[in-house]
Amino acid sequence: MRSIYGVYLIVVICFGMYISTFCQEDSDEDITAIYIVTLKEAQATAHYYNEMRSVNHSSRHGAYGKFDVHKRRFRNISRTDRRYGSYIARVHDSLLRRTLKGEKYLKLYSYHYLINGFAVYVSPLQADKLSRRREVANVVMDFSVRTATTHTPQFLGLPQGAWAQQGGYEFAGEGIVIGFIDTGIDPNHPSFADDTSDGQYPVPHHFSGICEVTPDFPSGSCNRKLVGARHFAASAITRGIFNASQDYASPFDGDGHGTHTASVAAGNHGVPVVVSGHCFGNASGMAPRSHVAVYKALYKSFGGFAADVVAAIDQAAQDGVDIISLSITPNRRPPGIATFFNPIDMALLSAVKAGIFVVQAAGNTGPSPKSVSSFSPWIFTVGAASHDRIYSNSIVLGNNVTIQGVGLAPGTENDTMYTLVLAAHVLNNDTTVSDDMYVGECQYSSYFNSDLVQGNLLICSYSIRFVLGISTIKQALETAKNLSALGVVFYMDPFVIGFQLNPVPMNMPGIIIPSPEDSKILLQYYNSSLEKEGNKVVKFKATAKLGGGLKANYSNSAPKIMFYSARGPDPEDNSLDDADIMKPNLVAPGNFIWAAWSSAGADSVEFLGENFAMMSGTSMAAPHISGLAALIKQKYPNFSPSAIASTLSTSASLYDKHGGPIMAQRAYANPDQNQSPATPFDMGSGFVNATAALNPGLIFDSSYDDYMSFLCGINGSAPVVRNYTGQDCWVYNSTIPGPDLNLPSITLAKLNESRTVLRSVLNIANNETYSVGWSPPYGVSAKVSPSHFYITRGQKQVLTIVLNATANNSVASFGRIGLFGNKGHVLNIPLSVIVKITYNSNTTTNS
């Protein structure tokens, strides 16, 4: 079973019969690899953007709502010109032929919408030849990537809040297309049917994607809900690691992850969640009326590669999606002068330029600092938090000791106590522990004496082999059934320390005791109750009853930041210098999330063959935001991506359901015993508030030109910017340092004495008077002016924030700025300062 922490993938350079003609063993210079090549001529959208800049010039000065601001008309223009793509592909082919005359190579993709470039399979010497061509801007080796709900709509207040504002769940997200770059989708799942009782709805006119047809994704798989589906695997196929039998050369999901994430964001409302014959309520996506477009670029057996992901992003933008959702992260921090300069992030920058809101999972590498794997300010990075629903299970021992555990299982009947038998004590005469040291994991019924097990509770061990997927709960339950056991009790192997289990479905009474300490209590009671003759057990006297874990409990304190959720500060480069950018941007529910599961989903053995699965990770948090962003886009169709990011951020909650501070787990082992109040480097602006996000009052807006000015301000970045975008930094009259980007947060990696930061807000609501309050970070004094202002609809207001270091300190400290409107709007702006240097830090005084 793959854990929530993700699978680390190995880039295979030369492997398999498919590419044997390209692989050479004579020298390292002949070892072929996949390279992403970008050309100096700008991509299609850049041409159209330049043509339309004068038309859309007002977008930088107008207002929202009824004002026609940030309407990306150039997207529609470029998308309709299908001839451009084939022309660009011919240009790429010509360049390869002229450069690599008579040599072997394989072009995988031509990128022509967001990036003018291609992915090609060549040797390092051939890559060097390409890099020397005057037409070529950049050559980067391909790299690998990895994958990073019945109750969460209620926990987020959607039925009475955001959905009600849209006219009910029947209309929530209508007309919005969310593009998912993931492991594909199961088109037959009821979460993606278009024949629901809520009525049919048309495919949005602005979307022009297609649905691939293959034997396992036949004609008719797509509909008015699932409006597009493609797959991208050329990089993996070229490497010879593509396994068609389990990876599926089609949009079909053989993993389960993609089906899960798509339904979290956009699954139909009211779909019954039935697992192992038990009903767990009805599921709904955050925007159940929105449309789904799938771009499969990740696979069960190997993960994915940047070349395929970039091709998927390029196609999604060309098709006209409104939102791109990526529950994936790179396997390594990008090399170079800044983490922002990598093929995926730069393709996403072009997507943002085209008006597409981009959401990415923060990664599951927490809780250590600088573990976040989503870097750029134009990407909305989402961390994972808990929600208040838990499934508690318990076992009551014959000595009246109660032990808590997990397991989505029925309990034993009435209050009857049943005999406990340890797997190692009920072996048949032909089996000993020396025959199989893992016999206690109950994987093979042939090892056991059914006469001793029948009608009793079988005790099995849960070891690291379950975490690795070598042993499974499902197989142990099968063993118990074959032996006519009444139920199963799993105790935790002492070598599995602090591991957090997703509740596992069981079709018979059962429980998993996740605590090694509690497991010792169980075993001590069991052993003390045995009647033995020598080393032989002659009577089992220990008894117990199981409470069952099918009933949900909603008393849990939530949200809290999960230990696996990746943390800031945002690393600017491989030297781990800190960027002046806050990451993550926000947190959303990501722990114990029920959502749709593929009929062939093999990511979790315990849910194999089920229609739904409960999963945890930032992969589950990101699509919550993708779906909620669809609700915002529906209400404010002319919002830019940064405006959507602003409204989600400034409206976020800082408190849990009981009014206390949101807590963050700080350790992998025993995380609930190691937690403290969350900071912006744990939760960004806070926990998403879906209803407040639909009525933000003021917004912070940033444009593509702002992001370009930011990139151009990085030391030595001009040639890299040119390589990736085809644009020269001299076009931009001035650069913008990270702290001066007009983001709804302020982050300073280093405050050297004093710094003045400006922020501009735009009023999209009615006229209102605001007062400004602030609490500075430790070691910093702050002043914001004006402290009061009146702002009319469509008007902008500049805020001046002056920060002064008052103590020398290199430990990050945090504060906040609050904007409080007299008509109820409240905006939250987090302040983060890492290194503080005062004026007299390097001087000495005489006393």
Residue in 78, 619, 709, 745 annotated catalytic: 619
Residue in 59, 110, 151, 182 annotated catalytic: 182
Write the burial class of residue 40 (CB in 10 Å: 0-12 exposed, 13-18 middle, 19+ buried): middle
Question: What's the count of helices (H) and strands (E) in the chain, helices before strands?
Answer: 21, 42
Q: Is the peptide bond before 584 cis (omega within 30 degrees of 0)?
A: yes
Inter-residue contact 345 to 376 (CB < 8 Å): yes
Non-local CB neighbours of 652 within 8 Å, separated by 6+ positions: 586, 684, 685, 686, 687, 688, 689, 828
Q: Is the peptide bond before 696 cis (omega within 30 degrees of 0)?
A: no
61 in active site: no
Inter-residue contact 699 to 829 (CB < 8 Å): no
Helix 704-712 vs helix 718-725: crossing angle, to nearest 10: 140
Rounded-to-integer distance, Cα 26 and Cα 45, Å:
43
State whether residue 149 is helix, strand or coil: coil
Rounded-to-integer distance, Cα 183 and Cα 204, Å:
24
**Residue 593 CB coordination number (10 Å):** 30
Rounded-to-integer distance, Cα 175 and Cα 311, Å:
25
**Residue 754 CB coordination number (10 Å):** 13
Distances from the Cα of 85 to the Cα of 78, 121, 272, 314, 604, angstroms: 10, 21, 43, 11, 39
Reading the block at residue 582, the tokens are 């806050």
182 in active site: yes
257 in active site: yes
Residue in 112, 257, 291, 825 annotated catalytic: 257
> Residue 578 — φ and ψ, nearest 5°?
-85, 135
Cα 172 to the chain's mean position, in Å?
A: 22
How many alpha carbons lie under 13 Å from residue 36 in its C-beta half-sphere? 25
E strand residue ranges, 480-565? 487-492, 510-513, 531-533, 536-539, 543-546, 552-553, 560-561
Active site residues: 182, 257, 619
